[in-house]
Amino acid sequence: MANSQKILVVDDDPELRQLLASYLNKHGFDTLLAADANTLEEVIARFAPDLVVLDRMMPGRDGLQACRDLRAQGEDVPVILLTAKDEHVDRIMGLEAGADDYVGKPFDPRELLARIEAVLRRKSGPSAIKPNRPFPFGPFLFDPISRQLTRDGAVIKLTGGELNLLEALIEHAGKPLSRDRLLTLARDDDAGDRHDRAIDIAILRLRRAIEDDPKSPRWIQTVWGTGYRFSP
């Protein structure tokens, strides 16, 4: 399976993390590693992994609570939970918390690889915005070819940076994106300000352009402590 999809492995066992990193990298994945789930939301927002392998038992916030928190925030990144092999209740609780699958410890890395590929196949589908295809939301239509946003056929004037930002938000619809991640995704060569405040100002302008009430946004929502999320 040749690809460059990113897998985030969250486990407090350093040997297991390195073993999985080597194995998954060998099979074409780009593997990210974390020793705990305490900053999981920030890591996901910054690096946008395609799937998270999350250990059930860790110091601090355990994997089960971390998975619940992700789903409560609307984060839909696929999660495979690593559980104690004989703990049937753990597996049920994991699925109820929003995990997409589980693997019992100890496990053969080939089993985990097969589970990862199966979950990614189930979750794979067209991105929010299809290449060269207009994307409708509410009364709006964003056309990535003409680089235009229209409302009921009328063109809404946006700067190049604002269009870049809107496109990045739409491409990652439903996922919280940090300001740093948005700066990377929405690069504007003409922009002089390359800092978080530039993103906040651009978000404010976008909200004024598309929201009925910018103070209570429907489309571009604030994710406190992280950044912003486009919610179609």
Q: What is the CATH number of the domain that holds 204?
A: 1.10.10.10
Non-local (6+) Cβ contacts of 88 within 8 A are none
How big is the chain, counted in residues? 232
pLDDT at 185: 76
Examine the domain organization and report whether 99 and 158 are in the same domain. Answer: no
* DSSP conformation class of 144: T
pLDDT value at residue 11: 95
Q: What is the pLDDT of residue 2?
A: 40
Question: What pLDDT does 95 receive?
Answer: 77
Examine the domain organization and report whether 119 and 18 are in the same domain.
yes
pLDDT of residue 206: 93
State the pLDDT at residue 88.
Answer: 65
What is the Cα–Cα distance from 29 to 50, expressed in whole angstroms? Answer: 10
Range of the domain at 76: 6-123
Asked if 119 and 142 sit in the same domain, the reply is no
User: Which of the residues in the chain have pLDDT under 70?
Assistant: 1-3, 85-91, 124-132, 187-196
- pLDDT at position 189: 42
The phi-psi region of residue 154 (left if phi > 0; otherwise alpha if psi is between -120 and 50; otherwise beta) is beta
Residue 196, pLDDT score: 62
